[in-house]
Amino acid sequence: MSIFLGIETSCDECSISVVERRSKNNFFVLGIATSSQEKIHQPYGGIVPEIASRSHLETVLPTLVEAVKQAQLSLEKVDAIAVTQRPGLIGSLLVGVTAAKALGYAYKKPLIAVHHLEGHIASLFLQQRQWDDFPLPMLIAVVSGGHTHLHYMPFLPDQWPIDFLKTSLIGRSRDDAAGEAFDKIGKLLGFPYPGGCWVDQTAKNGNPKAFSLPRALSQVDTYDFSFSGLKTAVSLLVNRLQKEGSFEDHIPDICASAQAAIIDVLWSKISLGILKLKCQSLGVVGGVIANSYLRKKLECDWESLFLKCPPFIPPLAYCTDNAAMIAVAGAFRFEQGFFLRPDEYLSLNALAHS
């Protein structure tokens, strides 16, 4: 049984979590505090990096205090500190990495530098399941605001090679990420940033067949995605409806049609991967798996297509950026010996790119 402190500040969420590893496959969140910057960035329609890092500076300590208070333990009891080191906004990452170093140095704890996407994949292990519940190989879809990746996972994370994310990557978006497409379409429709959850909510009152929108690369034999054409198509549609004076009435239909286009493309590439690579299970992680239409499709439609290939998704609370997933990813890497001692990590730097 070991305890990990996770720190995540790669973008606009300042999140700190205390996670207990109760057995190899059983992680329990003792405490988690997340300070969202959504409201701060909303007037700008997107994240302003300088404002993000300044806000992290203000919130990192109160967030730590809250997480540790929830966990009801002293920082002395923590076995190691896991921090998102890459990729992300450099100023934001630096706040988390510096806080992790300072805490680690003060409490003499090892430090684990975590890749943000490994964190998202590790969020699958925050559900209480048996190790054997993950039949391998597993196809992993990472669908977030910054990434749309497909990974082929023949081993569980305790056996991941250090370059797992590179060697396992079979497909990615050639332009916008799926979450980015949701957000850009949300912006065109006048929703606050980030638009994904607004499009999701509004789509519930719309008809997904109201407008025919492009599903790029869906008929092509590639695992790559492309979402920028969809954004352009929605922009042209919005202009046309505005000229006709019927834009406002059609917002729910546009949301439902655009959402269906994004999810259809994800669905077709995931299905292609499962069939061609003979995957035995599916994991979908990242902010877009919070989408209610995608979650419902996985719950209701998946089994009829791929009966012997169970789908796994993280609990809703751990879909978008959070520190619990970073603590879990750190725990796997710690077990493999990928950690640094206080005299080794003071020169460790944050990296904007992976």
Q: Which residues bind Zn ion (CB under 5 A)?
A: 144, 321
**CA–CA separation, 97 and 117 (whole Å):** 16
Identity of the residue, 91 or 194, whose beta carbon is nearer to ligand KG4 in the bound complex: 194
Residues 106-135 that bind ligand KG4 (CB under 6 A): none
Q: Which does residue 288 touch among Zn ion, ligand KG4, none (CB within 5 to 8 A, set by kind)?
A: ligand KG4
Q: How far is the CB of 238 from ligand KG4 (least distance, A)?
A: 18
Q: Which does residue 291 touch among ligand KG4, Zn ion, none (CB within 5 to 8 A, set by kind)?
A: ligand KG4
Q: Which residue has the tokens 């009435």?
A: 249
Residue 178 corresponds to which tokens in the numbers above?
Answer: 């799926």
Query: Counting contacts by CB under 6 A, is residue 288 touching ligand KG4?
Result: yes
Query: Counting contacts by CB under 6 A, is residue 200 touching ligand KG4?
Result: yes
**CA–CA separation, 165 and 170 (whole Å):** 10
Q: How far is the CB of 328 from ligand KG4 (least distance, A)?
A: 15
Interacting stretch for ligand KG4, rule CB under 6 A, among 140-148, 165-173, 235-243, 343-351? 140-148
Query: Counting contacts by CB under 6 A, is residue 144 touching ligand KG4?
Result: yes
**DSSP letter for each residue of 167-216:** HTEEEEBSSS-HHHHHHHHHHHTTPPSS-HHHHHHHHTTS-TTSS----T
Q: Which residue of 157, 179, 208, 330 would you call a contact of ligand KG4, by CB under 6 A?
A: 179
Query: Counting contacts by CB under 6 A, is residue 165 touching ligand KG4?
Result: no
Residue 248 corresponds to which tokens in the numbers above?
Answer: 């406002």
Query: Counting contacts by CB under 6 A, is residue 290 touching ligand KG4?
Result: yes
Identity of the residue, 110 or 287, whose beta carbon is nearer to ligand KG4 in the bound complex: 287
Interacting stretch for ligand KG4, rule CB under 6 A, among 59-67, 73-81, 191-199, 274-282? 191-199
**CA–CA separation, 270 and 54 (whole Å):** 39
296 three-state secondary structure: helix
Phi and psi for 278 in degrees, rounded to 5? 50, 50
Query: Counting contacts by CB under 6 A, is residue 320 touching ligand KG4?
Result: yes
**CA–CA separation, 224 and 202 (whole Å):** 28
Identity of the residue, 197 or 284, whose beta carbon is nearer to ligand KG4 in the bound complex: 197
Q: How far is the CB of 150 from ligand KG4 (least distance, A)?
A: 16
Based on the number of CB atoms within 10 Å of its own CB, is 308 exposed (0-12), middle (13-18) or buried (19 or more)?
Answer: exposed
Query: Counting contacts by CB under 6 A, is residue 291 touching ligand KG4?
Result: yes
**Under 8 Å between Cβ of 91 and 55:** no
Query: Counting contacts by CB under 6 A, is residue 146 touching ligand KG4?
Result: yes
- State how far the alpha carbon of 174 is from the alpha carbons of 36, 146, 201, 222, 262, in Å: 29, 12, 27, 11, 14
> Which residue, among 286, 311, 288, has the nearest Cα to 300 in the 3D structure?
311
Q: Which does residue 157 touch among ligand KG4, Zn ion, none (CB within 5 to 8 A, set by kind)?
A: none
Residues in touch with ligand KG4 (CB under 6 A): 11, 144-146, 179, 182-183, 194, 196-197, 200, 286-288, 290-291, 320-321
